[in-house]
Amino acid sequence: MMIPNTEHMPASDIPVAMWLVKAGLDDVAPETLVTGFCSHVVTAGIPLQRVFVGMATLHPLLRARGYTWTQTGGLIGNEAMPHRDPDDEPEAWVASPLRHMLAKEVPELHRPLTRPEAIGDFPVLKEFAEQGLTDWFAMAHSFGWTFENGRHVTDRYAGIGMISSFTTMRAGGFSEDHLTRLRRLVPLLALAVKAAMLTQMSRDLTAAYIGGDAAHRVLNGAIRRGQAERIEAVILYADLRGFTALADRLAIEPLVETLNAYFDCLGPAIEAGGGQVLKFLGDGLLASFQLDGRRSPQEVGTAALRAARAALDAVQALNADRSAAGLPVLALDIALHEGLVMYGNVGTGARLDFTLIGPTVNEASRLENLCTALDRNLLASETFMRIAGSGAGLVSLGRHALRGVAEMREVFGLAQ
């Protein structure tokens, strides 16, 4: 890693350095860091024309984020870069000098674009030259994020956290003084970016594992065991019928792929309805739709029912495709219930789960267990029916005993 030498930093660069320190401490967003850095550097007299900053992240869907800035247009690109198999990388990326730097672990690369020494060894650099740019300079900085085997946690390339490139239209390209100053300032940008990305990754990872609303509460201080509140919510409890039998005869890798395929039918439908998946329970999941006043109870009930029906439709389409491909199929059972729950932390002193607990959750689980006996894929409770309304398309299936519940409950299902 290149450590900036600030001992002889010119007076014009000190405001840039101080701005970066303050921005990093203030948790400024990455895109603001990029635009602010570029603007300050230009003001300090370094003639930037186009800048790209790519930064690694730790996200289940994204490998990195990239930002492009130009002197005339400001921030013109904000790109989310998904995880890809090595054989599925875009051609432009495969041929880029930045990929070359990452793959070969090259910390710095400088290419004049128009002077006699220009070698044009990467297609994009030829394009820059045709656009009137005269010089290209790039640096890579490690964030130090590694697995135990030394590989970078978010990329198959080792040791990279931020990679950045800078171009100019100045006749003769960057001067040696310009390059020396960039070598001092860009590591400070990388440090501020690392701070910003750690904050973003905390949000992304927490949301990925415990749900968006729960993540917001945890990151805003709800972190002590027993810290919970009473809320009204619609509970969606789902389970895959026949999964246990399938697990006995299917290898673990295709079993996991099968499970993910069915969960993909549930998650998007729940999120589209304003709900959140709180936890996965083996071959099932627990989700909630809060009655927090932002929507009427009937609107929440309607959204939850719509999400359940959309998930069942998605499973029906998935099963048709799997049957055609000769793959095993599963049925999805869903229970909808409404009531008072405790929402917060439960667990040991240092190992916690942020979730819903209470009789309402237990009854939702027992209601889902009734799906097989009634040969129904969707069951709803009487309390859910009260908020969903008579126009929800649900009909009474009579009163039934739920395991562990003292009184019989009226159960509703979709009209057939």
What pLDDT does residue 160 have? 66
Output the pLDDT for position 64: 85
Six-digit token string for 318: 């998935």
Distance of CA 56 to the CA centre of its chain: 13
Inter-residue contact 313 to 332 (CB < 8 Å): no
pLDDT-derived band at 5, boundaries 50, 70, 90 = low
Residue 95: both structure tokens together: 């041929």
Is the predicted pLDDT of residue 8 greater than 80, yes or no?
no
In angstroms, what CA-CA distances link 83 with 48, 58, 260? 30, 10, 17
Structure tokens at 341: 């729950």
Look at the block and give the residue holding tokens 């999964």.
243
The set of residues, in sequence order, having a beta carbon less than 8 Å from that of 340 and lying 6+ positions away, is: 230, 231, 232, 358, 360
What is the residue whose two structure tokens read 């309805």?
273
Greater confidence, 9 or 142? Answer: 142
**What average pLDDT is seen over the chain?**
89
**Model confidence pLDDT, tens digit, residues 108-165:** 999 999 877 778 889 999 999 999 999 999 999 988 765 444 444 444 444 468 999 9
* Cβ atoms of residues 328 and 258 within 8 Å: yes
More confident: 388 or 406? 388
Per the DSSP assignment, residues forming a β-bridge with 55 are 65, 162
| Tokens at 231, concatenated | 């809320």
Ramachandran category for residue 322: left, alpha or beta (phi over 0 → left; psi -120 to 50 → alpha): alpha
pTM, rounded to two decimals: 0.76
Say if residues 334 and 311 touch (Cβ distance below 8 Å): yes
pLDDT, position 151: 47
Residues 236/276, Cβ–Cβ less than 8 Å: no
Three-state DSSP class for residue 108: strand
Going by the DSSP 8-state scheme, the letter that residue 258 receives in this structure is: H
| pLDDT score at 152 | 44
Mean pLDDT of 349-366: 88
Instruction: Look at strands 284-290 and 162-168 and give their pairing.
Output: unpaired
Distances (CA, A) of 106 to 18, 100, 160, 394: 28, 8, 10, 63
Q: Work out the pLDDT band at 7, boundaries 50, 70, 90.
A: low
Handedness of CA 401, 404, 405, 410 (dihedral sign): negative
What are 173-221's pLDDT values in tens digits?
999 999 999 999 999 999 999 998 888 888 888 888 888 888 888 887 8
Please tell me which residue, 43 or 119, carries the higher pLDDT value: 43
Q: Which amino acid, one-letter code, is at 37?
A: F
Coil, helix or strand for 39?
helix
Q: Are 360 and 341 in contact (CB under 8 A)?
A: yes
